[in-house]
């Protein structure tokens, strides 16, 4: 389709997986189970929301020292990102591993991801698969998607498109945009599942509605081609514009070609619509942690 799909960044702030899913990442959407029930928000999360990383780091450390697993996880995030402290991948891994060893599901995923990438620990696809499996069994969609990638690519496991589809579907059904997009690609190609163009389009739209740039670009390209979807230059321009706003170069090239085919009035109208478009926010799976 003339664009490349980027690999998800490890510490993307996922606080809202906007229909933007991973895309336009709404900042500051912190909450807590206690707050939802009428209680108070964690002081560390409040400070983090305000950008006061020094205070957030101090509060998370105090809570972590008292055995709070969410705080231990959050402290790991801050070490990894270098927020409120020097960046230290080794310490981030140690903290994630400490929380994971006590059954913290999101920490299990982070340990798996760091073992896959070789961040703070030696790279090992086998270890990545082991930790992803544990987190996936706890229902973590990122881990489910991570397992899907391992099986799709054959990293540390036998290549198995069918199992990749199974794991992508689990994560996609929980609203994870990257998994929705990957499931759509395999469904469109008939890899690991029956080839089904309309089902693939459904998942492309699900990911695009979450602001996931590769899916936005793909939907735009489908409208531009006029094969799987009715040819529509205006809809193509709209979706390609959304992807372009997230710096997807292939989408920008296709959109610029469309400028020659649309009137100035049409372009102005579509630019206004794209600027006003907002994704559908999804609730974080654990509102007590930095996502």
| Tokens found for residue 76 | 């790991």
Please count the other Cβ atoms lying within 10 Å of the Cβ belonging to residue 251.
27
As a whole number of angstroms, the distance between CA 169 and CA 108 comes to 20
Instruction: Choose among 52, 49, 79: nearest CA to 64.
Output: 79
Q: Write down the H helix ranges in the chain.
A: 33-36, 43-49, 53-65, 69-81, 89-100, 105-117, 125-137, 141-153, 161-172, 177-189, 197-208, 213-225, 233-244, 249-259, 264-276
266-287 average pLDDT score: 82
As a whole number of angstroms, the distance between CA 51 and CA 58 comes to 13
**pLDDT at residue 3, as a whole number:** 31
85 exposure class (CB count in 10 Å sphere: 0-12, 13-18, 19+) = middle
**For residue 109, pLDDT beyond 70:** yes
Instruction: Choose among 194, 223, 195, 193: nearest CA to 208.
Output: 223
| Tokens found for residue 33 | 């189970």
Q: Is 59 helix (H, G, I), strand (E, B) or coil?
A: helix
**For residue 6, pLDDT beyond 70:** no
**For residue 203, pLDDT beyond 80:** yes
- Arithmetic mean of pLDDT over the chain: 86
| Tokens found for residue 227 | 């094969």
H-run or E-run covering 120? none
H-run or E-run covering 31? none
At residue 88 the predicted structure's pLDDT band, cuts being 50, 70 and 90, is very high
**For residue 218, pLDDT beyond 70:** yes
120-145 average pLDDT score: 97
As a whole number of angstroms, the distance between CA 237 and CA 182 comes to 23
Least confident of 25-34, 188-197, 203-212: 25-34
Q: Are the C-beta atoms of residues 208 and 215 closer than 8 Å to each other?
A: yes
286 exposure class (CB count in 10 Å sphere: 0-12, 13-18, 19+) = middle
Please give the model's pTM, rounded to 2 decimal places: 0.82
pLDDT (tens digit per residue) in 56-74: 999 999 999 999 999 999 9
**pLDDT at residue 246, as a whole number:** 94
71 exposure class (CB count in 10 Å sphere: 0-12, 13-18, 19+) = buried
Provide, rounded to the nearest whole percent, the portion of the chain with pLDDT above 90.
Answer: 80
């Amino acid at each position: 389709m003339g664009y490349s799909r980027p690999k998800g960044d490890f510490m993307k702030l996922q606080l809202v997986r906007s229909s933007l899913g991973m895309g336009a990442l709404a900042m500051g959407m912190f909450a807590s189970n206690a707050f939802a029930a009428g209680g108070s928000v964690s002081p560390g999360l409040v400070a983090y929301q305000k950008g006061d990383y020094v205070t957030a780091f101090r509060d998370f450390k105090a809570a972590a020292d008292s055995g709070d697993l969410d705080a231990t996880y959050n402290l790991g995030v801050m070490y990894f990102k270098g927020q409120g402290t020097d960046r230290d991948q080794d310490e981030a891994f140690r903290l994630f591993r400490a929380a994971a060893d006590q059954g913290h599901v999101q920490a299990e995923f982070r340990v798996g991801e760091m073992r896959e990438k070789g961040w703070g620990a030696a790279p090992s696809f086998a270890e990545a698969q082991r930790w992803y499996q544990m987190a996936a069994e706890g229902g973590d969609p990122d881990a489910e998607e991570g397992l899907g990638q391992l099986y799709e690519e054959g990293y540390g496991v036998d290549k198995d498109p069918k199992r990749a589809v199974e794991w992508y579907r689990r994560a996609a059904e929980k609203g994870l945009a990257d998994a929705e997009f990957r499931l759509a690609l395999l469904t469109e190609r008939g890899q690991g599942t029956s080839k089904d163009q309309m089902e693939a389009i459904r998942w492309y739209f699900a990911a695009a509605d979450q602001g996931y740039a590769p899916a936005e670009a793909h939907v735009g390209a489908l409208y531009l081609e006029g094969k799987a979807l009715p040819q529509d230059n205006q809809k193509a321009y709209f979706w390609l514009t959304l992807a372009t706003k997230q710096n997807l170069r292939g989408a920008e090239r296709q959109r610029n070609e469309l400028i020659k085919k649309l009137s100035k009035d049409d372009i102005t109208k579509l630019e206004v619509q794209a600027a006003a478009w907002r994704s559908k926010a999804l609730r974080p799976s654990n509102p007590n942690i930095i996502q």
